Amino acid sequence: MSCRVRGSPSQHRHPTIPKHAPHYATQQHSSSSKPKPEDPTGESKHALPLQGITVVSLEQAIAAPFCTRQLADMGARVIKVERPGVGDFARNYDTRVNGMASHFVWTNRSKESLALDVKKPEDLAILQKLLTRADVLVQNLAPGASDRLGLSYEKLREKHPALIVCDISGYGQDGPYRDKKAYDLLIQSEAGMLSVTGTATEPAKVGISIADISAGMYAYTNILGAIMQRGKDGKGRKIDISMLESMAEWMSFPMYYTFNNAPVAKPAGASHSAIYPYGPFETDDGSVMLGIQNDREWANFCRGVLDNESLTTDTRFATNSLRSENRDALKKEISDIFAKLTSAQVIEKLDAVSIANAKVNDMQGVWNHPQLRARQRWTEVDTPEGRVPALLPPGFGDGLDARMDAVPAVGQHNKAIIAELDM
């Protein structure tokens, strides 16, 4: 394992929510779950899995920052290299979080910001010296840009044979699409996502940056694998992650559904294109989402929710394929009953016969979701504009506390990092 820059802020704290905040329930910790004082070597006695790993990331937008934030959650020290003054352009996507951008706050906690103009020789020298102490280099610059700076895996591996280099781009580091601009919506379109969303007459993009997220997730898991492999052979690795390939993997179900030129399923809005009833249904005072996966559930639904057992023998609805084929007629049967009931009454009936269902929440419904509160999934993190609520990462808890440190200001850590490098 390579030598590392010391002095990483690695407190794993979960502060309480102030009284003026909305109803977010924080995770509570017993005294036994709090980190012990650090030993003389600088390592916590209750170290997270990636504590001691240093990640340097030339990152912007979403894919790479989402990847490295998860590495930071696991205890890695993440040094975010961004432009002096303006920083990562995602800082200016919006001003929804106390004047800060929502995307940026989400993907950049627990990092140190090092503002460098890597086109200047003196700043590039700082970055190159930092890499002598790094375990992982992540970058999502335009393809070819890191190579021109001397930061490609091929140009680094001789001096840094144990360095893991992860490149994230829209289409990959080679191939005919290499140099095409690649924003999330464009990749959704290229990967066929828009062909399976929306309705039969109007496609719709997914409402979150799903192509960026998928690429960030595959970068994260590949880096974890490379760290494990390096523990066995001592060697670094080149990782080439493309947004298109990540999304194409996630589109494997609809691709196989059209195997051997089979006809495509028509987009069905918020409903399932091949299973019915599976989607939202209007009630007297809102909407309820429900899903029926098999004939046994269909029979229970007819008896216990619709109070109409005759539908179980209706030949139009005898199998899932027939229910899907005749969904317009079946929707009318369901809607006529649900229109006389409130959402709460429908959910009560569905729960009574074990039919899967859900509320159709807006974002305020998620902020105040009773299950997230009951499982104490909320905490807070510091930002340049004050403390804000944050969800604990999935999987953490029961003795493993995620690192939940501050979202940095641009260049906040320049002085400290450069001092560590004796430059």
User: Are 240 and 282 contained in the same domain?
Assistant: no
Helix (H, G, I), strand (E, B) or coil at 79: strand
Low-confidence ranges of the chain (pLDDT < 70): 1-46
Q: 324 burial class (0-12, 13-18, 19+ CB within 10 angstroms)?
A: buried
CATH number for position 210 = 3.40.50.10540
Which letter, b or e, does each residue of 141-150 get, where b requires 16 or more Cβ atoms within 10 Å of its Cβ?
bebebbeebe
CB 379 within 8 A of CB 390: yes
- Look up the domain containing 303 and give its range: 278-360
The pair of structure tokens assigned to 143 is 């393809």
Q: What is the pLDDT of residue 131?
A: 97
Structural domain includes residue 372: no
Structural domain includes residue 55: yes
Q: What is the pLDDT of residue 32?
A: 32
Q: What is the pLDDT of residue 18?
A: 36
Question: Amino acid letter at 148?
Answer: R
User: Are 228 and 293 contained in the same domain?
Assistant: no
Structural domain includes residue 3: no
DSSP-based helix, strand, coil % in the chain, nearest 5: 35, 15, 50
Taking the C-alpha atoms of residue 334 and residue 61, their distance in angstroms, rounded to an integer, is 44
Taking the C-alpha atoms of residue 152 and residue 134, their distance in angstroms, rounded to an integer, is 14
User: Are 314 and 411 contained in the same domain?
Assistant: no
Q: What is the pLDDT of residue 274?
A: 82
User: Are 194 and 323 contained in the same domain?
Assistant: no
The pair of structure tokens assigned to 38 is 């650090």
The pair of structure tokens assigned to 271 is 């409903």
Q: What is the pLDDT of residue 17?
A: 41
Structural domain includes residue 196: yes
347-366, pLDDT tens digit by residue?
Answer: 999 999 999 999 999 999 99
Q: What is the pLDDT of residue 44?
A: 43
The pair of structure tokens assigned to 192 is 């066929």
Q: What is the pLDDT of residue 118?
A: 94
User: Are 238 and 133 contained in the same domain?
Assistant: yes
Structural domain includes residue 267: no
Question: For 205, phi and psi rounded to 5 degrees?
Answer: -80, 155
Counts of helices then strands in the chain (DSSP H, E): 16, 11
Q: What is the pLDDT of residue 399?
A: 76
Counted domains in the chain: 2
Helix (H, G, I), strand (E, B) or coil at 100: strand
User: Are 143 and 200 contained in the same domain?
Assistant: yes
CATH number for position 306 = 3.30.1540.10
What are the angstrom distances between the C-alpha of 16 and each of 63, 186, 272, 376? 30, 40, 41, 11
User: Are 295 and 245 contained in the same domain?
Assistant: no
Q: What is the pLDDT of residue 221?
A: 98
Number of neighbours of residue 301 by Cβ within 10 angstroms = 22
